[in-house]
Amino acid sequence: MSAGLRDAVLAVNAGSSSLKFGVYERSGPALWTGLFEGLEPGGAPRWRLDREPVHDLVVPAGSGSFDAALAELLSLLAASGLRLAAVAHRIVHGGRRCTAPRALDDELLAYLHTLEPLAPLHQPHNLEGVEAIRAALPGLPQIACFDTAFHATMPAVERRLPLPRALHEQGLRRYGFHGLSYDYVSRTLAAATPRAAGRLLMAHLGNGASLCGAVGGRSMASSMGLSAVDGLMMGTRSGALDPGVLLYLWRAGWSLEQVESLLYRESGLKGVSGISADMRTLRASTEPAAAEAIELFTHRVLRESGAIIAAIGGLDVIAFAGGIGEHDARLRADVAAGLAFTGLKLDAAANLAATGDVLMPVHAADSTVEAWIVPTDEGRVAADAAFAHLDAG
C-alpha cells in the first residue's frame, strides 16, 4: 500500500445473515459504520453505510453473498484513503482460555469452534466471518475480542454453578456476555462521573439483553451465565427458565434441535407477543399480547436488577445501553420507578428528550443514584485491542 496513508482497523461482527462493521482510527468514534444484511441463502442481499440509503448488493455468479459483501467492503476501504492495519473480530464466547484479546491462528480457531454449542446463534457465524476474512486478507493481523473476557474478574462464587465438581472442571460455569459493550460503557462513564468507580449497574437492552454489576470498573456479576440464552428475556431468547421446562419437553418427545430453536429463536418478546421481537413494533401495537410481552420484559429487568444490586452491595449509578436501553424512554422510566427503593429518580423531561445518540445523564437533581444513557460502541473497544496488539508487535 502507498506510504503516508493513515492506519485504520476494521471491526467486524459477523452473524448468520449479516455483517456489521466499523472503521476506526486510533481515537475517536468510528469514521464510518455499516451493515450488510440478507446474506442468508435465498435472502435479498443489501448494504448501507451509517444512515445512508440502502443499496442492493450484487452477487456475481459463482460467488456467495458473504464473499460478495466482503469484496464490496474491501473496495470501500481501498477508496477511502486509509491503510487497513488489522481486523478486529467480535467473538461471543472465549471459554476458560480467552480472558483477553488474542491474535487469531489455527490453534485458537480450533478451540473457539469447540465452544459453538454454548452460543449457537453467534459463535459459528463469528468464526465463519474470521475464516472468510483470513482467506481474503492473508497475512493481515486478525484479532479476536471476546464478549466473555470482561467478566473474567467475577468472583469464584459468581462463576460457580451448583453442579458436580467434575462438570465444573470441564468448564461448565458462568461466563457472562456483552463484555465489549460493558467495557465501553464502564470506561465512558469513568470519564464522565466519579461515581462510576462505585457500584455500577449496566443494562445492555436490545435483541440480546443482559445486566452487569461492576465495582471499580470490574465486573462482579452478570445476568448471563454459561450461555447467551441465560438471564433476561430477550428479543427471541427465553432467558432463565426452570430446568424442569426442558425435562417436560424432552419427555413430551421434543428433540434437542426443537428445544434449542425454542430457547433461542421462538421465545422472548417474539414468543410472548406472537407479533414481533422488535420493541418498537410492540410499543406501536394495540394488541394485549404486545403489552403483556413488554410488561414481562420490564419485570424481568427489574427482577434481575435486584439480584445484581444485592450482589454488588447497593447502587450508585445505573447505565442504559443497547437499542432498547438507549431509545425506549418508557422502559427507562418504568425500570427507574421499580428501583425507586434504591434512591433512583429520573428527570422525566430529560428522559423523554433523550435521543439515545449521545452520552446523557437522565437522573433528577435529588436522586441519590445517577442514571445515564450511554450509546455503546463495541467496535471501538475491539479496535483499541487491535491497535494495542499492533503496538506490542
Helix runs in 193-328, H state only:
243-251, 256-265, 268-273, 279-284, 288-312, 322-327
> Comparing 40 with 223, which gets the higher pLDDT?
223
- Look up residue 16 and give its amino acid: S
323 has binding-site annotation: yes
Sheet containing 55-56: give its strands across.
55-56, 46-49, 32-37, 18-24, 6-14, 82-91, 142-146, 102-103
356 has binding-site annotation: no
207 has binding-site annotation: yes
- Look up residue 347 and give its amino acid: D
pLDDT tens readout for residues 152-174: 999 999 999 999 999 999 999 99
- Look up residue 52 and give its amino acid: E
Kindly compute the dihedral angle of the four CA atoms of residues 46, 141, 187, 376, in this order, to the nearest 10 degrees: 0
Range of lowest pLDDT (115-129, 148-162, 177-191, 223-237): 115-129
Mean pLDDT of 260-283: 97
Helix runs in the chain, H state only:
65-78, 106-113, 123-136, 156-159, 165-169, 179-192, 243-251, 256-265, 268-273, 279-284, 288-312, 322-327, 329-338, 348-353, 378-392
The three cell numbers locating residue 49: 453505510
C-alpha 125: how far from its chain's center? 15
Mean pLDDT score of the chain = 95
pLDDT the model gives residue 3: 52
Give phi and psi for 32, each to the nearest 5. Answer: -160, 155
325 has binding-site annotation: yes
pLDDT the model gives residue 78: 85
**Whole-angstrom distance between the N-terminal and C-terminal Cα of the chain?**
19
pLDDT the model gives residue 2: 46
| pLDDT band, residue 80 (cuts 50/70/90) | confident
Percent of the chain past pLDDT 70, that is, above it, reads: 99
Range of lowest pLDDT (68-72, 162-166, 276-280, 377-381): 68-72
Q: What is the pTM of this model?
A: 0.95
Which residues does 20 contact at the CB level (< 8 Å), separation at least 6? 12, 13, 14, 33, 34, 35
Instruction: Please enumerate, as own/partner, the contacts of 103-106 that have beta carbons within 8 Å and a separation of 24 or more.
Output: 103/141, 103/142, 103/143, 103/144, 103/389, 104/130, 104/134, 104/142, 104/143, 104/144
Q: Helix or strand or coil: residue 351?
A: helix
83 has binding-site annotation: no
204 has binding-site annotation: yes
pLDDT tens readout for residues 93-127: 999 999 999 999 999 999 999 999 999 889 999 99
280 has binding-site annotation: yes
Please identify which residue in the block is written with the cell numbers 448501507.
48
Distances (CA, A) of 316 to 106, 123, 201: 44, 34, 8
343 has binding-site annotation: no
Question: How many other β-carbons are positioned within 10 Å of the β-carbon of residue 50?
Answer: 11
For residue 4, is pLDDT > 80?
no
| pLDDT band, residue 63 (cuts 50/70/90) | confident
Residue 156 burial (10 A CB sphere; 0-12, 13-18, 19+): exposed
Mean pLDDT of 220-238: 97
- How many helices (H) and strands (E) are present in the chain, helices listed first? 15, 14
278 has binding-site annotation: yes
C-alpha 274: how far from its chain's center? 24
pLDDT the model gives residue 1: 39
Please identify which residue in the block is written with the cell numbers 480457531.
109
- What b-and-e string marks burial along 330-363, b requiring 16 or more CB atoms within 10 Å of the CB? ebbebbbebbeebebbbbeebbeebebeeebbbb
Mean pLDDT of 175-185: 98
- Determine which one of 67, 147, 347, 391 is catalytic: 147
For residue 220, is pLDDT > 90?
yes
Cα separation of 56 and 59, whole Å?
A: 9
Which residues does 160 contact at the CB level (< 8 Å), separation at least 6? 168, 173, 174
Instruction: Please enumerate, as own/partner, the contacts of 128-133 that have beta carbons within 8 Å and a separation of 24 or more.
Output: 128/14, 128/66, 129/12, 129/13, 129/14, 129/19, 129/66, 129/89, 130/14, 130/89, 130/91, 130/104, 132/14, 132/66, 132/67, 132/70, 133/12, 133/70, 133/87, 133/89
Of 140, 142, 120, 119, whose CA–CA distance to 129 is shortest? Answer: 142
345 has binding-site annotation: no
Question: How many other β-carbons are positioned within 10 Å of the β-carbon of residue 383?
Answer: 28
Distances (CA, A) of 367 to 207, 309, 318, 363: 29, 17, 12, 6
299 has binding-site annotation: no
- Among this protein's residues, is 147 annotated catalytic? yes
